[in-house]
Amino acid sequence: MHHKDDDDQPWGMPQEQYKALNPRDKKQVRNRIGARRFRAKRKDYVSSLEYSKKEADAKIVQLEGQLESHRREINDLRARLNMAPLPPPVDSTLGLVVGSGE
């Protein structure tokens, strides 16, 4: 059985129509399709990176909260033992802005 869809090629035209094109036009059609595929793959890749960054930023915020909670607990326990509190945390971001969202 032969369907119309079987005649359609990835470049969006029946095979006979594609075969009738001169070599320069065929190359242009293939190039257009290649560029379209590249843009789609790049868009997917960028979306994946953006999602991964959001997940990493959320994890950083969560871990920073846990760290602060543990520091408070340690300082409370040190106070009960009449010990000096822990020194304030050293900023380890090295000038990086995390989770700015801009």
Q: What is the DSSP letter of 12?
A: S
In this predicted model, what pLDDT tens digit does every residue of 7-27 receive, in sequence order?
456 667 888 888 888 999 989
The answer to whether residue 79 scores a pLDDT higher than 60 is: yes
For residue 99, what pLDDT is reported?
Answer: 54
For 26-50, what is the mean pLDDT? 95
C-alpha distance across the termini of the chain, in Å: 56
pTM > 0.85: no
Note whether 55 and 47 are within 8 A (CB): no
For residue 2, what pLDDT is reported?
Answer: 46
Token pair, residue 27, equals 């190359």
CA distances from 48 to 10, 43, 52, 88, 95 (A): 25, 9, 6, 36, 25
The answer to whether residue 59 scores a pLDDT higher than 50 is: yes
Residue 40 or 21, more confident? 40
Type of residue at 88: P
For residue 91, what pLDDT is reported?
Answer: 74
Indicate the domain borders of the chain. Answer: 15-80
